[in-house]
Amino acid sequence: MSQAQTSTAADQAEGVNGAGEMLRVEGLLKYFPIKSGVFRRTVGNVRAVDGVDLFVLQGETLGVVGESGCGKTTLGRTIIKLVEPTAGTIVIDGTDITSFKRREMRQVRRDVQIVFQDPYASLNPRMTVREIVAEPLRIHGLYRRGEGQRRVEELLRTVGLSPEHANRFPHEFSGGQRQRIGVARALALNPRMLVLDEPVSALDVSIQAQVVNLLVQLQKDLGLTYLFISHDLSIVRHISDRVAVMYLGKIVEVGTRKELYQQPMHPYTQALLSAAPIESPELRGKRERIVLQGDVPSPANPPSGCRFRTRCWKAQEICAEEEPELVPRAGGAHPVACHFAEVMSPLDLAGQARVQQAAHQAAQRAAAQSAAE
C-alpha cells in the first residue's frame, strides 16, 4: 500500500472515532540470510516479510491472517524488534523506533508486549506463576516487596485466575490457564498494545472462545490496542475491527471486517473464506470449498509477479510479469493486490471459482495442445 493510501484510510478512520495511530509500519522487510559452504557465505535470503505497510489505531484490533509460513510471526516479532528489521520504518505512538537500541527499547517494551502462541513453551517451567508474572516488573526495576505481590495477585484476578495459583508451577495448569498466565505477564507493565501471536491456536477448541472472550473484555476494560495474528479466519472475524490477509511475506488484501468477510476480492482471501465455517445454521452446507492446490511456495524463491499465481485459478500472463499493487480496485473501496480482483459473495465463492477454475484448466490444455502441434 502506498503511503498516501494508508494515510487516507487512517485519516478517515480518525475522523470516525477520533483515535490516533498506535502503530504504523512502512516498507517493512525481514530477510533471513541462507548461509552455505565452509565460509558460511550468504547464498540467498528467506524473505519472510517482504514489503509490509500497515497501521493500527489506538484501541482497535487489526487481525493478520494467512496460512502457516506466510510470515505472520516474523511480522509480529519484527514490529517489536525481537528480531531486527532488514529495512522499513516502525512508528509506535508517533515515535520512530526503527533504529532504537536495546536501552531505548526498554520504554517501548513497557508499552507494547507480546503474547506467544505456545503457552507450554513460553513459560519457564522452573519458575512459579508469581515469579513469571513478576519478572517484567523486576526487569524494569518496578518490583517492590508487598506492593509487587499485590500487583501479581491483582493481575491473576484480572485474567480470571486466583491469587492462590501464584505459588504453583506452569505444569500444574491446563493450556487455557497457562495462556491466562502468559496474558497476566504481558499486562504486568500496563502496556497499551499487545501483539498476540496465535494466542489460542495451541488450545482445545472449547477453551479458545474463553480466552478470546477474556481478550475482548481486557481490551474494553484497559483500552488496549491489539495486533491479533492467526491462521484461523473465524477467530480473526470474532475479534478484529479490520483484517489484513498475508501471503508469502506480503499483505494481499486489507479492509474492515465487513469488507473482508462480505466482499472478499482477492482470490486468496476468497479461498481462505470458502474453507472457514459458516456461523449461520440455515446457510451451512450451501457453500463448497475452494481447495487451494499445493503449498505456500518457498519465501527464499517467491514466484515472479504476483506471488499467488502458482495457486491461483484466475492467473493470466500479466500475473507472472507484473506485481499487482495493493490499491482499491473497481467494485470495492478497500485495497487489494490483484490484477483481476472482483467482489464475490461468500456463498457464491465456490460456484464461481469452479467455473473459473474449469475455464483456466481448459485454456491451459488448449495452450499445451497448440504448443505440441
Ligand X SMILES: Nc1ncnc2c1ncn2[C@@H]1O[C@H](COP(=O)(O)OP(=O)(O)O)[C@@H](O)[C@H]1O
Q: Which residues bind ligand X (CB under 6 A)?
A: 32, 46, 48, 66, 68-74, 299
From the list 200, 324, 326, 344, which residue makes contact with ligand SF4 (rule: CB under 6 A)? 324
**Cα(121)–Cα(108) distance, rounded to whole angstroms?**
24
Q: Which stretch binds ligand SF4 (CB under 6 A): 204-212, 255-263, 306-314, 357-365?
A: 306-314
Quote the least distance from Cβ 312 to ligand SF4, whole Å.
3
Q: Which stretch binds Mg ion (CB under 5 A): 43-51, 71-79, 105-113, 234-242?
A: 71-79
CB nearer to ligand X: give 79 or 312.
Answer: 79
Distant-in-sequence, close-in-space partners of 20: CB < 8 Å, separation ≥ 6: 14, 57, 58, 93, 94
First to last CA, the chain: 44
CB nearer to Mg ion: give 118 or 131.
Answer: 118
Element (H, E) at 268: helix 267-275
CB nearer to ligand X: give 70 or 137.
Answer: 70
Take residue 158 and report the three cell numbers written for it: 484480572
CB nearer to Mg ion: give 68 or 107.
Answer: 68
**Cα(72)–Cα(69) distance, rounded to whole angstroms?**
8
- Residue appearing with cell numbers 517501548: 108
Per CB under 6 A, contacts with ligand SF4 among 240-299 are 266-267
To 5 degrees, how large is the angle CA 276–CA 260–CA 299? 75
**Cα(61)–Cα(250) distance, rounded to whole angstroms?**
19
CB nearer to ligand SF4: give 151 or 307.
Answer: 307
Quote the least distance from Cβ 131 to ligand SF4, whole Å.
49
- The strand ranges marked E within the chain are 21-36, 41-57, 61-65, 87-92, 95-96, 112-115, 193-197, 225-230, 242-247, 250-256, 327-328, 335-336
Take residue 93 and report the three cell numbers written for it: 505512538
Say which entry of Mg ion, ligand SF4, ligand X, none residue 314 contacts (CB below 5 to 8 A, set by partner kind). Answer: ligand SF4
Residue 122 in the binding site for Mg ion (CB under 5 A): no
Quote the least distance from Cβ 191 to ligand X, whole Å.
21
Quote the least distance from Cβ 291 to ligand SF4, whole Å.
16
Quote the least distance from Cβ 43 to Mg ion, whole Å.
25
Quote the least distance from Cβ 90 to Mg ion, whole Å.
19
Q: Which stretch binds Mg ion (CB under 5 A): 65-73, 85-93, 218-226, 267-275?
A: 65-73
CA 263 from chain center: how many Å? 20
**Cα(80)–Cα(116) distance, rounded to whole angstroms?**
13
Quote the least distance from Cβ 25 to ligand X, whole Å.
15
Angle between helices 175-187 and 147-158 (to 10 degrees): 130
Give the contact letters, 332-361, x = binds to ligand SF4 (CB under 6 A), - = no: ------xxx---------------------
State how far the alpha carbon of 366 is from the alpha carbons of 164, 352, 359, 360, 371, in Å: 71, 21, 10, 10, 9
- Residue appearing with cell numbers 483481476: 340
Take residue 16 and report the three cell numbers written for it: 470516525
Contact 278, 325 (CB under 8 A): no
From the list 315, 326, 349, 353, which residue makes contact with ligand SF4 (rule: CB under 6 A)? 315
Q: Which stretch binds ligand SF4 (CB under 6 A): 106-114, 167-175, 204-212, 305-313?
A: 305-313
Residue 230 in the binding site for Mg ion (CB under 5 A): no
CA-nearest of 13, 66, 24 to 272 is 66
Quote the least distance from Cβ 13 to ligand X, whole Å.
26
Quote the least distance from Cβ 83 to ligand X, whole Å.
7
Q: Which stretch binds Mg ion (CB under 5 A): 8-16, 67-75, 78-86, 275-283?
A: 67-75
Chain positions contacting ligand SF4, by CB under 6 A? 266-267, 306, 308-309, 312, 314-315, 319, 324, 338-340
